[in-house]
Amino acid sequence: MDIRILPANIANMIAAGEVVQRPASVVKELMENAVDAGADHISVLVKDAGKTLIQVIDNGCGMTPDDAVVCFERHATSKIASKEDLMGITTFGFRGEALASIAAVSEVTLRTRRSGDELGCEVVFADSGHVSTNEVAAPQGANFAVRNLFYNVPARRKFLKSDNVEFKHIVSEFTHVALTRYGIEFDLVHNDREIYVLKPAKSLKFRIQDMFGKSVAQNLVDIQAGTSVVKVFGYVARPDSSTKTQNHQYFFINGRYFRSPYFHKAVMRAYEKLVPEGCSPSYFIYLETDPGAVDVNISPTKTEVKFEDDSVIFQVLYACIKEALGKNSFGAAIDFDTEGVPEIPVFGRHFDDLYRAEEPDARTDSGYNPFDNDGFPSEEQHYANVIGDFPSPGSSRDGSLYGAEAAGDRSGEHYGRTSAPWTSEYVDRRDDYGKLFEDKTLPTKSVLVLQGKYILTQVKSGLLAVNIRRATERILFEKFLHAYSGSSHVTQTTLFPVSVQVGVENVLLFQEHADMLASLGFDISPFGNDTIVVNGVPEGYSAEPGKVQMMVTDLIAVLSDEKSLLPETMASSIAERFAKIGAAGRDPLTSPVEAQRLIDSLFSCANAEYTSSGQRTMIILPVEEIDRKF
């Protein structure tokens, strides 16, 4: 087989497989070219999520007719000319591959004019071929129109995702560029609808506010640090505003967006013990270093970079964030709400009483005579003393009698795993559980709700204890699984519509999964570009506005987790995650009737003993074991 040089159009199509992965790739490359051209106003117009049209218009320096043709040749660039230039890159582009790759898989029209020219030119390319060049009237700058992306590569076009998914990626790339240049005006229009109109901002924080809303901007803490190796600046979120999603987490190096799991670890280490497990903060972190100390030429998308001193930068970043959080008193993130609290003077007539030492609680018997009954107390006194040593119901002197569970883990995750000897002994009492489920009328006696966490009721073999949160989780799991498999779930209408600002990308996320959410009982609709309105939640969820907003945050985490949306595991995964959300946000039980209803629902489940993740929902304390305690 002879070795041959591939034709230019074939080589460009191969290169396009790496550079142009989806419509968002085209948006990224054209926006970055516009920034490099010195534009201060960049407009992005797309139709059908970029599948039909991607148009990027800028007021940059423009090009001559000759350059307008040459720029579509492979490795044609104005950014570098020598090896030394490659070692000190300060622009977005430098390879000269983007336009050639785009023209290989689409139909491209470029209109451009320089400031000193009377007329501009229009250049048309298709399938890597130069179609025509004409003189036209055009404003200063460049206007790229990319039509019918992947029209000549059917397999690539077939595997594009839905419009919502593809446009979400476009928004992501638009965001990356807009955050690097807050002094530039940016517009994003999709299907003739304005999504972003970003005027030049006074500062980075104002740009963040314009893009993500005040709710994000007002929770940011300023960070700054400078060493001989790196300069760090930007913003990190207050620990108490952390969420279960990893939205709004951005790293930039010398004005270029990049991803770094390694530096993300530095951020999370600085927040250690300040945010709940499973949650993470937002951050907008900008690094500046010598261009020669960083290599941005290691991936086609340029989102992965290598640093000469990454371990040093890690330590600087960690120390910088830790110091900022410490200065803002987030060591123990407690926010006391003093609004509306009456003013109480520090010194007053009760000051002495407030600080006077209390007398010890000593019990005395003024009628006691140690010489009566040969120095021994009477039988009545003996029993009175014994009974008096026990705390009254609802109280505990040292917490040892009633406080063991209260002082321990309140999450319910380790219920039945304490050091008491009876707990492990009854994990596998299958006979007791078998009898329990044979007789569905057993748990109809009086029930007791303990600390809002457990339901206690009598059964034939002893005392049944039900973990309320886990029982709720099991019930909701089976309801959601049933609803997801075909039948619709009952919707509980909120008293008033609850609006939640979630950002443009997350509005698209909810639209993408609208049918699934509706089948599960959620009534959610978009309201503007960055807000959703919740009109109903599944039966069993709390409709209280504060909890609805928390539910929305959890939903974003679920819908953003691609692993939970795999076809083979989607039904059970979605049902399990939503059940956990519902169980955590459910209103507390307030009456024995509600407790009994919960037990009835639990016993109607296919597997009432365990949650979907394998945790016990109940235990039985047999009468024999209770007898041994006495």
Spatial strand order in the sheet of 283-288: 220-226, 231-237, 283-288, 249-253, 256-258
Positions of E strands within 290-432: 294-295, 306-307
**Model confidence over 348-375: pLDDT tens digits?**
334 344 334 444 454 555 554 444 544 4
pLDDT recorded at residue 365:
52
560's CB contacts (< 8 A; 6+ apart) are: 245, 246, 247, 509
The answer to whether 511 and 167 are in contact (CB under 8 A) is: no
Q: Hey, CA dihedral for 189, 193, 199, 204, is it positive or negative?
A: negative
**Model confidence over 371-402: pLDDT tens digits?**
454 444 444 443 344 333 333 433 443 433 33
Number of Cβ within 10 Å of residue 66's Cβ equals 10
pLDDT recorded at residue 564:
56
Q: Hey, CA dihedral for 574, 579, 582, 583, is it positive or negative?
A: negative
User: How many whole angstroms separate alpha carbon 154 and alpha carbon 65?
Assistant: 32
Q: How many helices (H) and strands (E) does the chain have?
A: 23, 22
| Count of residues in the chain | 630
Average pLDDT per 10 consecutive residues for the chain, totaling 630 residues: 77 73 95 95 97 97 95 84 73 82 94 95 90 94 96 90 92 96 96 94 95 91 94 95 85 94 95 86 96 84 88 95 86 41 37 43 50 46 39 39 36 36 41 49 63 80 83 84 66 87 88 84 88 86 80 81 60 74 73 81 83 83 83
**pTM beyond 0.85:** no
Q: Classify residue 539 as exposed, middle or buried by CB count within 10 Å of its CB (0-12, 13-18, 19+).
A: middle
The answer to whether 271 and 242 are in contact (CB under 8 A) is: yes
The answer to whether 610 and 414 are in contact (CB under 8 A) is: no
Q: Which helix or strand (DSSP H or E) is residue 171 part of? A: helix 163-180
Distances (CA, A) of 166 to 3, 175, 509: 39, 14, 11
